[in-house]
Amino acid sequence: MAKDYYNILGVGKNASKDEIKKAFYKLAHKYHPDKKEGNETKFKEVNEAYQVLSDDTKRTNYDQYGSQFENMRQGGGGFQGGFGGFNASDFGGFQNGGVEFDFGNLNDIFSDFFGGGMGGGGRGEKRGRDISTEIQISFSESVFGTERKILITKTSTCLVCKGSGAKEGTKMETCKNCNGQGKIREAKRTILGTISTTKVCEACLGSGELPKDACETCKGKGVLRREEEISIVVPAGIRDGEMIRLAGHGEGVKKGAAGDLYIKVNVTSHPLWRRDGNNLITDLNLKLSDALLGTEYPIETLDGEIKVKIPEGVALGEILRVRGRGVPTGKNKRGDVLIKLNIKLPTKISRKSRELIEQLKKEGI
């Protein structure tokens, strides 16, 4: 059974070439193996679908022959050959004239597309990987903010050579990989044609020089894996699942900027309080007599006790508001506390109470 290329790209059978191309770039970016959540299998499927649907002849054959397309493509009759006039030798990964190919070139292409380089523009300064972790805080800490210190093991700049990779006092020599140019020019034949790129030399990272003697601690890498203590300031009002970004606290890279650290904040629930925007809500159970006659109740908030006046004749579900005791929203500004009133009816009543209630009933109360 032939693969449903339209379904793989998420387009309709009447999709235009531009729609197919946009869908391809979007999915290829999403599933690229170099991405954190990449998927090489789906990446290959997306590329295979694009190779067929972006070519008028192959798309016509696919639409016409349906389930027989795969057999015909692989030599069962009807049509064969590479795509767009390329030969199998161009890629080293083509099989039987089909659409499977070596993804080494594609990885470089999409690195250029989505990583900040195209054509002869180069790739600029290298940057370390972004990393992530999680912390757990209490409900009260999420409202008023807090600080945390965590220990995280990551690739960090070498403290001895300060990231240079060179032994102190050593002489520098011309990089043999790029002959001191700091850049290497490459021409690659791909499914998109021949693409010429100029990239930073991976040996000297663009400097054109290498130390004669490497740092003994990091062996010339400029970075090494070590444990690092990081302080995290959790802002007031943060919500469960929100992320905190610490720029430059990700993994380091030789002669380049460190990546970022993302911290997901998990907030534990509170037995009495919950959030509604910048307001804090709680439930208060009242006795029937208090609801009828009114009274005063002590309420334990997140930052101290307050006394709430219950007016006479309150209704079930009525909400009382205490201003300025909710979630901080700025300097000397806070949301409100909302108290939802529940009237607790007695399950058993005494004879005397029954007589009083009967009297109230007669009076129309």
Domains in the chain: boundaries: 5-115, 131-267, 274-362
β-bridge partners, 264: 134, 243
Rounded to an integer, the average pLDDT of 285-293 is 89
Over 80: is that where the pLDDT of 83 sits? Answer: no
Distance, CA of 82 to CA of 58 (rounded, Å): 11
For the segment(s) 5-115, the CATH number from 1.10.287.110, 3.30.300.180, 2.40.10.10, 3.40.190.290 is 1.10.287.110
Q: Residue 284: phi, psi to the nearest 5?
A: -130, 120
Domains 5-115 and 274-362 share a fold: no
> Looking at domain 274-362, does it have CATH number 2.60.300.12?
no
With cut-offs at 50, 70 and 90, classify the pLDDT of residue 120: very low
Q: How far is CA 83 from the centre of its chain?
A: 36
Compute and round to an integer the Cα radius of gyration of the chain.
34
Q: What DSSP designation does 214 have? A: B
pLDDT value for 227:
92
Rounded to an integer, the average pLDDT of 138-157 is 94
User: Which residues make up each annotated binding site for Zn(2+)?
Assistant: 158, 161, 175, 178, 201, 204, 215, 218
Specify whether the CB–CB gap between 130 and 260 falls below 8 A.
yes
Distance, CA of 243 to CA of 266 (rounded, Å): 9
Over 80: is that where the pLDDT of 76 sits? Answer: no
pLDDT value for 117:
40
pLDDT value for 69:
58
Q: How many CB atoms lie within 10 A of CB 165?
A: 22
pLDDT value for 73:
53
β-bridge partners, 157: 223
Label residues 340-361 b or e (16+ Cβ within 10 Å = b): ebebeeeeeeeeeeeeeeeeee
> Quick one: CA dihedral 202, 206, 207, 209, positive or negative?
positive
Q: What DSSP designation does 76 have? A: I
Above pLDDT 70, what percent of the chain?
81
Q: What does DSSP say about strands 131-137 and 193-200: parallel, antiparallel, or unpaired?
A: unpaired
> Looking at domain 131-267, does it have CATH number 2.60.260.20?
yes
Specify whether the CB–CB gap between 244 and 263 falls below 8 A.
yes
pLDDT in tens, 11-70: 998 899 888 988 888 888 888 776 767 788 888 888 888 888 888 888 888 887 664 555
Rounded to an integer, the average pLDDT of 166-179 is 88
pLDDT value for 359:
82
> Quick one: CA dihedral 33, 38, 43, 46, positive or negative?
negative
Distance, CA of 233 to CA of 137 (rounded, Å): 12
82-to-90, 104, 255, 265 alpha-carbon distances in Å: 10, 18, 42, 51
pLDDT value for 274:
96
Over 50: is that where the pLDDT of 184 sits? Answer: yes
Over 90: is that where the pLDDT of 348 sits? Answer: no
Specify whether the CB–CB gap between 167 and 211 falls below 8 A.
yes
Q: Residue 156: phi, psi to the nearest 5?
A: -125, 165
User: Which residues make up each annotated binding site?
Assistant: 158, 161, 175, 178, 201, 204, 215, 218
Above pLDDT 90, what percent of the chain?
37
**Sequence-ordered strand ranges (E) for the chain:** 131-137, 146-157, 172-174, 183-190, 193-200, 209-211, 223-234, 243-246, 261-267, 274-276, 279-287, 295-301, 304-310, 319-322, 328-330, 333-334, 337-344
Which is higher by pLDDT, 71 or 298? 298
